[in-house]
Every structure is written in C-alpha cells, then in structure tokens.
Structure 1
C-alpha cells in the first residue's frame, strides 16, 4: 500500500512536470477517489508547492525551483532522520566530513554538532545556514553557481573547489536506484557528486527505500562504489538479498514510528 507522503510526492512531481493538471485527470491518472486527490492537493498547497484552482491544480507562481526544494525537505522526514542517525556511526571527531546538497544529507547536520572537532564541507545552502551558527566547528562552503532547484552551489567553480580538497567521509544521496545503479536527474549535480566521491576516502550513501526501482536521466555510479549503502527497512528482503549478492555493502536502517 502506498503511503500518503509517497502519493503526495508522485502528485507533486506529476504536476510540476506538466505545469497544470485538471483534478479529473489526477483522479484518473492515480486511480484514487476525488476526495483523496483533494486532500493531497490541500496538503501540497499548504506546503507552498502547488496552487489549487477551480477544477485544476498548478505549480505555485513562486516557481517550481523554490517549491520543489521546500517540498523535498518535508518528504519522508522519519526516513531521513533514521538514515541520518545511522550515518553518524561513520563520523568521528577530527574528521573532514563532506555533505552533498541532498535533503537527506542535510538531516545529518544537526547531529554533527555533538561531534567535535570536525571540519564540514558542503555545497548546500540549507546545511550552511545551520553550520554558520555553530561554534567550535570548521566549515567550508563550496562556491559556484547558485541553483534554486537544489538550494545549493553547482557548476565548474564548485567542481574545481572540490578537486582541491580531501575529505575523510562523504555523506550523500541519489535520486533513484534501479538494480545496482544510482541516478540523478541533473547532469551538473552528477558532476559535483562525482567530484565529491573522488575527493573522499570513505563514501556513505543514504537512500530511502522508495527510490528503488526508479530511474532518473543521468547515471551517478554503481552502489558497489560506496563503502556503505544505508537503506530504510521498507526495501524488502528479496531486493536486499539481491544487492548483497551483487557485492553491495548494504545496511538496513529501521525507521522509528
């Protein structure tokens, strides 16, 4: 059975892709009742992602970029928090920790405050806003071209900055996983993440189980390229067994209710 937040994410992505969609079309496309669609749309409108019109729904006029980032921050909070707590097992005082621009990696930031001294490197503005307020922690913000979709810096300047650094641990995420291959929608983001992987001694991937059996436009890397792949427990035994047989260093993370 599909969870409510998963259904809302699918609806949000569908409307963002098309720009504007009739309510009746959403009912037909997702195969749920009109009341259910209205309930999801009301929640998305409250979060500032979509705007409800007479008989239709559209992306908020503030733009899909700001809306999609705000929305991603609200999706699967329990799963993100569980993955973040598990990721702390790979963090030790004195290390250089690199974080990508994912909302999953951003969930790790508040937990880092308890592990000092640390040097944290990231291109994420949401992470930077938290890290600048903490004493006793060195922080390096990677510059570059600011992109509102991700609330982060990307591009060649960011890639060049990463290439001149070395981190002990990279904590990152991916948009989708099919088989043992990870995917990202934006090619520029792929290049930044791959630069981070090349600059890090240990690579930790955090992935919500709902991202499995999905694809995005660009390949990031194989799961076997990561030192640990942390996945929430909804992945299922069969898939987990297949990944382990393929050589993936898998760790199942329980999501607390």
Structure 2
C-alpha cells in the first residue's frame, strides 16, 4: 500500500500499482543444450546467430553451450556455429552443416575464383558451399551461362532475375548436399561443354585425389570434369587429407586449385607440383 498527501491533514490510502508480469522464456542450460544437440543431429549443423534468436539468450551463452557439447564429443565447433562430429568416408553432411564451416576461407576462395570469369562465358558449378559462395559473386557478370547440378547455386541466380543470364539446372535425384545426381543429371551434363568447371570437393589427398562421400555424386562430378574445357577446384585447407569414399579426379587433372593459407607446407609443395596452377588466398 502507498499513502498520498491530498491536502494538509488529509491522507489518502491508495493501492500500489503492481507492474504486470512480463512473460519470460526460461530454459535451463541443460535443456537448451539438449535442444541444440537435437538440431545439430537433425540438420547437420547450427549457427550461433540462429540459436541466439531462437532461445533469446546472449551470443556468449550459446557459445558456452556449444563448447560444453564439444567437450563431450557430441558436436564439432566451427566458425559461427557447430556441426556433427567429423564424418567418415561415406557419411555426407548436409548443405546447412557445411555452410557454417570455414566461412571466411570459403568467401576468400570464391572471390578469387570469380576473377576467372568474364562476360559471355559458359561456366559449370558443381554442388557445394564454396561454389554457392561463388554464385553470389557471379550474379553481376553479364551474358553468363551457368550449368549446375546444385539447387542452392541455381537458386542464387534465379533470385537475381537477370535477363541476360542463362541458368541450366540439370535435374535428377537430390542428395543430402543438395546436389542433383543420377541418369537425368548425367544426360544433361553430357550435352554441354562449358568453358570452366568450378568443382567443390569433400576432400583431397595425394593417394585418392579429389573425393566425395557420395557414389552417385562422384559419377555426376566426373561427368562435369569430362564436359568442361578447364577444371578449377575450390577447396579450403581443411579438405587436405580428408577422404571421401569415391574419387572424382586425380590431383593433376586440376588446371587450377584455389585454397587458403592454412594448407600445410608439405601439402602446398606437393600440390604446386601436381596441379597446373596453385592459388593460395
């Protein structure tokens, strides 16, 4: 209760104004971490920014949650989020999972790759998060023809709506990495002859070359390699000595390999001798 002076000698008993309770979303740290883990397992990866918005907590709180899960071996921390633990040779992370890994390196690689494209060219882009980054930089190139088996790559160009660009999406069956594969994709790819192929890969090694964990995607990527006049491989340094079950191409089949400065010195030396040109961003 509160008392208010109305005039000299007179007091008025007034009911105190109690503020209306605000609806607060309280989630215990353990409950939140379980929910985060479920999202990682369902989607293959999560972004810190998305989790901050979803749970209404600070960036630092989410990062502590991810660190706790990583310490237990349940997730792998990456730049800007977390993904499932490093896969084996046949396990294929989804596009969302891969998109949060090594984002600054992929952006730098894509920017350098875009410098190879000129107006009027026909280029092919394989599926992958680095090629999707490249697509964002190619929407400004005039009179471009793009052939791709990647749904996210095609979507970038479709959304730009440029009338002077031609985009061909191969069709086919969809993989976890949003690649289109199978007989329909192969038939389409074999009817084209692009000037350049920008190839994203799961891994690369001296023994196995450029690899993927998906057998059908390997076949589709090999068709792209055969169809193109020039092969440009886009692979950040984390791909070195990462092995997928199926080989797409040998190291020396790449006319150009664009990677980042995190590549170990012995690997850089080997690749310099193996590929036509090694570009380090």
Task: Give the TM interval when normalised to the shorter protein.
Answer: 0.7 to 0.9
CA distance in 1, matches of 2:77, 2:258: 29
CA RMSD, Structure 1 to Structure 2 (Å): 3.0
Residue 109 (structure 1) aligned with residue 135 (structure 2): yes
Residue 231 (structure 1) aligned with residue 259 (structure 2): yes
CA positional deviation for 1:184: 1.0
CA distance in 1, matches of 2:172, 2:266: 42
Partner of 2:269: 241
Residue 123 (structure 1) aligned with residue 154 (structure 2): no
- Judging by fraction of residues, say which structure has more helix: 1
CA distance in 1, matches of 2:257, 2:83: 30
Residue 84 (structure 1) aligned with residue 110 (structure 2): yes
Partner of 1:150: 177
CA distance in 2, matches of 1:237, 1:142: 38
**Native 8 Å contact 1:96 1:169 kept in 2:** yes
CA positional deviation for 1:47: 6.4
Within-5 A mapping of 1:52-91: 68-91=94-117
**Native 8 Å contact 2:147 2:169 kept in 1:** yes
2:211 partner SS: strand
The one of 54, 64, 69 equivalent to 1:38 is 69
CA distance in 2, matches of 1:207, 1:185: 15
Residue 172 (structure 1) aligned with residue 203 (structure 2): no
Give the number of the structure whose alpha-carbon radius of gyration is greater. Answer: 2
1:235 partner SS: coil
CA positional deviation for 1:89: 2.3
The one of 211, 215, 231 equivalent to 2:243 is 215
Unaligned runs of at least 5 residues, structure 2: 1-36, 45-64, 86-90
CA positional deviation for 1:160: 0.8
Residue 160 (structure 1) aligned with residue 191 (structure 2): no
**Native 8 Å contact 2:95 2:128 kept in 1:** no
CA distance in 2, matches of 1:216, 1:231: 18
Unaligned runs of at least 5 residues, structure 1: 1-11, 20-33, 51-56, 58-63
CA distance in 2, matches of 1:132, 1:35: 35
User: In the comparison of the two structures, how many residue pairs are matched?
Assistant: 210
**Native 8 Å contact 1:73 1:103 kept in 2:** yes
